[in-house]
Amino acid sequence: MRAITLILSLYMSISLSNAHCEEYNLAIDTLKKLVSQHKQPKPKQLAPPDKEYYNDCVFTNKYTITERLKRYPFSKAAKIVAVSYDGTGEPNIEIAPNGDTLEAATHKKYKNHKPHGLYFNNDTLNHKSLFEIKQLTTQQIDRLTNILYNTDYRVPNNYAHPGNSCFNPRNALIFYDKNGKVFDYLEICFECDQIRSKSNRIYFNSACTQGLDYVKKFLVDVGIKFGTLMTKNPDEQ
């Protein structure tokens, strides 16, 4: 009798276990079927990194040419020239008042070498360090002021341009007064995305990201190649 009871208990245990396994397998099969029938959405194609941030400039008609020319430094400028020069490399060579490099005559190394940077003698631009110089026309000044003052954010945002700590300018805009004297200038470093003016009064109305790209294209169209299309010192080519 005890043996029969043991056999029945074992049978019932196996039956319950099989039933549990069947229910478990049924639940797994049902879940797999539901998953296979459910269409997974395709992942969205993300825009290239920073594309929206980078393409944030747009031209506006906020200021007329008359209003733009009333702003400093254009309100005072009788002539504006764009120039290129070597703002990097070896230390600047000292320039004498007559425009000659003091060491050029004694150092063969500097015989045909232009000094680095911009030089002025009593508010007169010294051309010794320049590779190119182009005087802007009325139409070009119109375009330049449009870039400076009528360029704004496409969509208002709180992006902050990280900027760079370096500053190796190769291009500049020089502003002359009615007496032919330089009263201000804006140095531009496309390599470092930086601009600096003598007075700290010349700046973009809006610092949208590709604003300096517009300035570079402007200088290229004016005829300035060094610092825009090429950066290798022409003296070394």
Query: How far, in Å, CA of 221 to CA of 216, rounded?
Result: 9
DSSP for 111-178, written as a single string: TTPPPSS--EETTEE-GGGEEEEEEPPHHHHHHHHHHHHSEEESS---------S-----EEEEEE-T
Query: Is the same domain home to 28 and 96?
Result: no
Helix (H) or strand (E) holding 184: strand 182-189
Tell me what the pLDDT averaged over the chain comes to.
75
Shared domain for 30 and 90, answered yes or no, is no
Angle at which helices 138-149 and 211-222 cross, to 10°: 170
Flag the least confident range among 57-66, 83-92, 142-151, 225-234: 83-92
Q: Is 56 found in the same domain as 22? A: no
Report yes or no on 46 lying in a domain: no
> What is the predicted pLDDT for the residue at 161?
53
Q: What is the pLDDT of residue 13?
A: 54
User: For residue 22, what pLDDT band results from cuts at 50, 70 and 90?
Assistant: low
Q: Is the pLDDT of residue 145 over 90?
A: yes
Write down the pLDDT at residue 231: 82
Q: Do 99 and 202 belong together in one domain?
A: yes
**In terms of domains, do 145 and 92 share one?**
yes
Same domain, 157 and 177: yes
Assess whether pLDDT exceeds 50 at residue 119.
Answer: yes
Q: What is the pLDDT of residues 58-112, one digit of tens each?
A: 888 899 999 999 999 999 999 999 999 988 755 455 555 454 444 444 344 445 5
User: Structural domain tally of the chain?
Assistant: 2
| Domain identity same for 16 and 68 | no
pLDDT at 236: 64
Segment 192-222, tens digit of pLDDT: 888 999 999 998 876 677 888 899 999 999 9
Domain containing 224 equals: 51-236
Reported pTM: 0.68
Is there a single domain that holds both residue 23 and residue 97?
no
Whether residue 96 is found in the same domain as residue 121: yes
Distance CA 135, CA 180 (A): 13
**Max Cα distance, the chain (Å):** 130
More confident residue, 1 or 34: 1
